[in-house]
Structure 1
Amino acid sequence: MSAESELLDKIRDISRPVRIMHICGTHERTISKYSMRDVLPEEIEVLSGPGCPVCVTPEQEIDRAIALAESGVILTSFGDMMRVPGSNGSLMEARSRGADVRMVYSIDDAIAIAEKEPESKVVFFAIGFETTAPTNAAAVLRKPPGNFSLLLSHKLTIPAMNELIDEIEVDAFIAPGHVCTIIGIHPFDQFAEKGFPVIAAGFEADELLLSILMVLEQQRSGNHTVENAYPRAVKNEGNRRAQEMMEKVFEVIDSDWRGIGTIKDSGMKLRPEFAMYDAAVIYEDLINEKVKDISYENSASSLCRCAEILKGKEKPSDCPLFTKKCNPANPVGSCMVSQEGMCYNWYRYRGVEDA
């Protein structure tokens, strides 16, 4: 018998009604790829939270990046970001209009462009959670060339979880393994103290099934705590060096999340002593002039359900655009763009007919 089968048998033995939310796009990919929701007992509901960094990047930050690209700088970012819709198209569409937008695989690739083209201004559109922030902090501490800067759109996991528990009905959390490698498991203690089991999980099917079993065992015992089910990668205290670099380079600010709104203390910006690398400071007047007349009240399609999907309130199949007007080749909402987006994964792994 496989490890997955053994875990499923144990889950079925102690199954009870429970709503478990993960906050990780890679977890959603594994869950969808292996049809885990279809083999779990019906009373166990696994919700997908705002764990896809591409998905939660708001329109206004996409618009700021496009404004820079169309002003004449070289705008660099990850491939998934190229197709995320802003209020008036995407970075890829800006490139089709003549903007110099380039895909890179890391901040080091962007710095290499700045070094090779010293006469150009190069901006790296830096997105992601605590997982990618230390790499960007380390690059700033290495003092990149003067023609290089970052447009930051980093998000913090814990404040988003706090926002969700006040808005939706959830019983437990599967904590994102990649984030936990950086911040450890102790920041999640506050949720256990409120009665939510929290399990830091890896990304294989058996690891996610184990995390679900551990939630059920905690629910049965009534002893709610934070457990580390990913010890091969996650230290309970996290990566202290990475935490120190983030603290040195960034300061915490309120931040906008697509589909959720402004969450207090959920973002990061460069500290004043690193303003020479802060594109938001360097190009402040230009950005403000370009986006000053854009209203974000009703800029997204009124039919797109990405906001509800990101908060775990709805599933992709609840969206009237899913598989019709919205698909990976023509994404209306951000959840259909990235390989970590719930809509993308449902489209790819569940199949159009089953969706």
Structure 2
Amino acid sequence: MNYMDEYRDRRTVLGLAERIGKLASGRTAPMTFMEVCGTHTMAIYQYGIRSLLPPEVRLISGPGCPVCVTPNGYVDKAVAYSRLPETIIATFGDMVRVPGSSSCLMEERARGRDVRVVYSPLDAVSLAERNPGKRVVFVGVGFETTAPTIAGSILAAHARGVDNYFVLAAHKTIPIPMQLLSADPELAIDGYLCPAHVSAIIGADSYSFLASEQRVPCVVTGFEPTDIMQGVEMLVRQVVEGRSEVEIEYSRVVKREGNRKAQQILAEVFVPFDAEWRGIGVIPGSGLEIAPAYAAYDAEKAIPVAVEEPREHKGCLCGEILKGKVTPFECPLFAAACTPEAPVGACMVSSEGTCAAAYKYGR
């Protein structure tokens, strides 16, 4: 048995399902657990995790997809920058197809704008070096997982004297929205499956305030079926025993303190600010903007551009889906007007989007 097979072993998964059923048996109301990681969302649908759980355990998907929580206004800015002369837009692949208010980067590329997909922010820095007569604007979307790499690209551009590299920053942090959602009585969240990739950077202790102040159990969980099932079992056990702690199931990667080096880079290049989240609104202190010391690399400060008034797409429930208040199947556009080939909302575009996961594995 190789390393991956151990975490996908059918007997182990079914054994965990049986243990969860016994632990949860007799509960008068279901326990509601939210995952806030797009990779978890995809894995839960892919492996049919919900079908293995008893009626007493309910899983809902939260705002764990960074592309999905990015509001239309940001996409509109990226589109506006793509229309400027002598400007190259560099972006990760997911962002190319995300609809803005009236266009997307893919449509702009079809109209002749210079939009390029890169695999790393450092590729965008190199692109700027090779094109000294043009501005390269990197579309910087992500949580604490990708933010250090984008911060590193700014440091690299600074060290290499690249003055035509800019970042359109839309980085967000996860713990503060989790606090907001767990305080929502309509959701009545009993525990969190905490994101693994993010936690590898910020550390499991970053969720301690949720357990101590809001009495919400948290388990940092990996992505394989046994990881997720064991994470659910740990949450159920905490609820049944009346505990609220931060536990680590994904101990082979995540530590209490996180990645100190990545945290140092983030603290040097970014500062907190009040960020807008699709469907949730502005959450104080939940975003990361480029620090004044590196303002020369901030596209919004260095390159003024006119942006259209943002508007949402009629009928799209992406915002409510991101809050866990409805499922994709409750959206009137799902699998009809909105498909992966012709997405209306960001939740259908991203490979980590709840609607994309439901469309691929849940129908």
Task: Give the structure 2 partner of residue 205 of structure 1.
Answer: 225
Q: Partner of 1:152: helix, strand, or coil?
A: strand
Q: 1:215 aligns with which of 222, 228, 235?
A: 235
Pair 1:187-2:200 in alignment:
no
Give the one of 14, 19, 36 matched to 1:10: 19
1:109 is matched with 123
- The residue that corresponds to 1:97 in the other structure is 111
Aligned to 1:152: 169
Q: For the residues of structure 2 that align with 1:333 and 1:311, how far apart are their CA atoms? A: 15
Deviation digits for residues 47-73 of structure 1 (CA, Å, limit 9, x no counterpart): 100000110111111111111110121
Partner residue, 1:300: 312
1:36 aligns with 2:55: no
Q: In the aligned structure 1, how far is the partner of 2:198 from the partner of 2:205?
A: 12
TM-score normalized by the length of structure 1 = 0.94
Structure 2 segments unaligned to the other structure (5+ residues): 1-9
Q: Which whole-Å CA distance do the structure 2 matches of 1:95 and 1:220 have between them?
A: 54
Letter in 2 for 1:110: A
Give the aligned length.
343
1:86 and 1:127 map into 2 onto residues whose CA distance is 14
- Say if 2:271 is the partner of 1:251: yes
SS in 2 for 1:45: strand
Q: Which residue of 2 aligns with 1:311?
A: 323
Q: What is the alpha-carbon distance in structure 2 between the residues aligned to residue 44 and residue 233 of structure 1?
A: 27
State the partner residue of 1:81.
Answer: 95
Superposition deviation, residue 283 in structure 1: 0.8
Q: Does 1:327 align with 2:344?
A: no
Q: Secondary structure of the equivalent of 1:19?
A: strand
* Counterpart Cα distance in 1 of 2:219 and 2:285: 23
- Equivalent residues in 2 for 1:224-263 (5 A)? 224-263=244-283
Q: Is the CA contact 2:32–2:59 (under 8 Å) kept in the aligned structure 1? A: yes
Secondary structure of 1:14 counterpart: helix
Q: Are 2:169 and 2:289, in contact at CA under 8 Å, matched by a contact in 1?
A: yes
Local SS of the residue matching 2:332: coil
Q: Helix, strand or coil: the match of 2:287?
A: strand
- AA of the residue aligned to 1:58: P
Q: Which runs of 5+ in 1 are unaligned?
A: none
Task: Please give the alpha-carbon distance, in whole angstroms, between the structure 2 residues aligned to 1:132 and 1:301.
Answer: 28
1:166 deviates by 2.6
What amino acid sits opposite 2:92 in the alignment? Answer: F
The one-letter code sitting in structure 2 at the alignment partner of 1:70 is R
Matches of 2:215 and 2:192, distance apart in 1: 11
- Report how far residue 43 of structure 1 moved: 2.1
Using structure 2 for the length normalisation, give the TM-score. Answer: 0.92
Displacement of 1:40 after TM fit? 0.9
Map 1:253-292; keep pairs closer than 5 Å: 253-284=273-304, 287=305, 290-291=306-307
Match of residue 136 from structure 1: 150
Runs of 4+ in 1 over 4 A off after TM superposition: none
Counterpart CA distance in 2 for 1:112 and 1:348 is 36
**47-56 or 134-143: which moved more?**
134-143
SS of aligned partner of 2:127: helix
Partner SS for 2:244:
coil
Q: Identity, % of aligned pairs?
A: 43
The offset of 1:128, in angstroms, is 0.3
Give the structure 2 partner of residue 68 of structure 1.
81
